[in-house]
Chains A and B, each alone.
Chain A
């Protein structure tokens, strides 16, 4: 009798352990993708029914919902890539077109070999905003406080602040910033909108050398559609360089575990110099500097 009870208890324990294994967050979210020890990314899958969106909350670790590279747009802004198609021709002003043609990107219709580029980013100058999201949106953490929304980006280990303490965006900015000056508000319980202004015009808009002027305003929206998703939209409004505002990015993001350890990705000048010496210069057929 005692033996039978022991066997029953053992079987119950094994069943309990198996049940616990399948009740992990990964199982709750659906299919996962192991990308490094201890990290499982969750992606969308057919038939899932996420819980409703929380109210006025976009905090958490976010990843492009479609796949790991859905936020990487080497050939320029996702909605308007530099691919020569008429529908992707940007509404340049003459000044904007001249600025574009003065840039020598390594991707897009005006690309040059990397050793001949004048892209500020490979030399580790800040890529700034909105290039960080138009070129390379990777795993990012959004933190909300009463005063601001802070976004920590994996790409080149950068961060920016969007003020939510009721201040107005400055009418004049004496000190232009690589990342602009950002102010945000809740449009409704599930939509957070920010506007950024006061940019340093040395940064590029995207990886294909699209330019912006010091008059640029960027409209940024996070629409929380359910518990697991938010849709990021970026609109560029720069009357000096473009005749009308244009939508540059519509990117669905998926919530990841809040315990996720975002990987380190830094722009190191010394590593870049080694790369140029051993690889980029010989690739372009130019003498090492």
Chain B
């Protein structure tokens, strides 16, 4: 019972806080806001661009049919990302990553980063919301 209450409170907090985008000033209109439409993509980093107005990560995803899809996903500006523990050396070409993405409505392989997980389990979070693991408690 106690566990259920804690889960519900955590979920409610997650919805409240999670609905706030990163402190971006470059638009929310293009993105899917429904958390159910987020995608989890495994891929290989090609470039990490630490720049204004926003940082962005480029990576290749191999699909089941053998085709490679090149994704470009953004996070916030460098000072905001520093606040969240990211740096200009967070990624290098060749890194294997699992990226949780809020995709755009157009269907193009672009989106905004929710979090990035490395093979050793280390996670970099890009948004002000509780980590998924905490929500399951």
Contact = CB atoms under 8 A, between A and B. Distances in A.
Given A69-B23, A263-B79, A284-B30, A279 B51 contact: no
Interface string A248-285: 00000000000000010111100110110011101111
A282 B106 contact: yes
B58 interface: yes
Please classify the interface of chain A as helix (H, G, I), strand (E, B), loop, or mixed, using the class held by over half of its residues: loop
B26 A282 contact: no
Given A36-B82, A74-B21, A106-B25, A279 B54 contact: yes
Contacts of B111: 283
Nearest to A111: B29
Contacts of B7: none
Contacts of A112: 27, 29
Contacts of B67: none
A202 to B, nearest CB: 18
B28 interface: yes
Given A265-B77, A279-B74, A274 B51 contact: yes
A113 interface: yes
Contacts, number: 100
Given A35-B82, A154-B79, A267 B110 contact: no
Given A35-B83, A263-B82, A265-B77, A279 B56 contact: yes
Contacts of A117: 27
Please list the 10 inter-chain residue pairs (A to B) with the smallest Cβ-Cβ separation, ordered nearest first: A106-B27, A114-B27, A285-B106, A113-B30, A271-B51, A72-B23, A282-B108, A283-B30, A114-B26, A283-B104
22 contacts: A74-B23, A74-B24, A111-B28, A111-B29, A114-B30, A122-B53, A136-B25, A263-B82, A265-B52, A265-B77, A265-B79, A267-B52, A267-B53, A271-B52, A271-B53, A278-B72, A279-B56, A279-B72, A279-B74, A280-B27, A282-B72, A285-B107
